[in-house]
Amino acid sequence: MTQDGGQSVHIDTSKPHPARIYDYLLGGKDNYEVDQVAAGQLAAAAPEVWISVRANRAFLQRAVRYVVGSGVRQILDVGTGLPTSPNVHEVAQELAPDVRVAYVDNDPIVKAHGDALLNRAGTTSIVLADLREPQSIVDHPEVRRVIDFGRPVALFLVAVLHFLRDTDGPEHVVATLRDALPPGSFLVLSHATGDFADDRSEAEAVYDNASASMNLRSRHQVERFFDGFELVEPGLVQVPFWRPDATPPAGSEEIGFYGGVGRKTA
């Protein structure tokens, strides 16, 4: 397999990958035994993970409907993960067929699945890139083919920033992407937290042997990612409680994911 520039890419299936662990927890089939074992260890350490990933996925879909309903017709989804249906573009284009979506992920397997599913000549694209190099995402020709940064964009960073260490500069990453967005754009973000558990060290340890570490952050730390954005109601909350379509399921108060949507006003 090659990257967009033609450089050969090695797919490492010897280590669990966060996107494939997440896929398994969602009931997907695009994962390997090493990912299944890691997911089992994660669930043993944090049993609520099963409802957490589904609540996070439901938050993503509600947020897509919100930004499209607010008039945005461009979505940049960074850390998209494996293409579990309904995908972002499927939810968005059901409401507005002219929505354009650029997906970005650092897993070659994710890109391979995306290449097979997406009509790259049309309103979607998928790019193999590293979130730790945000300017390369903004400047990527396949992103630019789909996204016009002169018009409002909804930037999705859903369940991805917790895979960046503090030394990776996650606040700088978000700020670089934010600064590329014009006023009227949105940030949709969710992030794992340990605020609702006594000890999450065992859950974090599952990712020590994975391709990315797990870095839980507090509500205050997550809220800082929204600098330069105005949070829309109800603010930064546990994902089941962000504009729910129905009564959140039992156990929602234990879900360790914060989610929020912010609007860039200037």
* CATH number, domain with residue 211: 3.40.50.150
- The per-residue pLDDT for 11 is 64
- The per-residue pLDDT for 258 is 97
- CA separation for the pair 38, 153 (Å, rounded): 35
Q: What is the CB-side half-sphere exposure of residue 5 using CA atoms within 13 A?
A: 6
**pTM for this model (two decimals):** 0.89
Number of compact structural domains in the chain: 1
- The series of mean pLDDT values per 10 residues for the chain, 266 residues long, is 43 78 84 89 84 92 98 96 82 95 88 72 86 97 96 97 95 98 98 82 71 86 98 98 93 92 95
2 in a domain, yes or no?
Answer: no
Residue-range definition of the domain harbouring residue 248:
18-263
258 in a domain, yes or no?
Answer: yes
Cα separations in angstroms, 123 against 36, 48, 56, 94: 33, 36, 25, 13
Spatial contact of 118 and 40, defined as CB atoms under 8 Å apart: no
- CA separation for the pair 171, 222 (Å, rounded): 10
- The per-residue pLDDT for 119 is 59
- The per-residue pLDDT for 31 is 84
- The per-residue pLDDT for 3 is 40
227 in a domain, yes or no?
Answer: yes
212 in a domain, yes or no?
Answer: yes
32 in a domain, yes or no?
Answer: yes
Burial code (b: 16+ CB inside 10 Å, e: under 16) for 244-263 equals beeebeeebeebbbbbbbbb
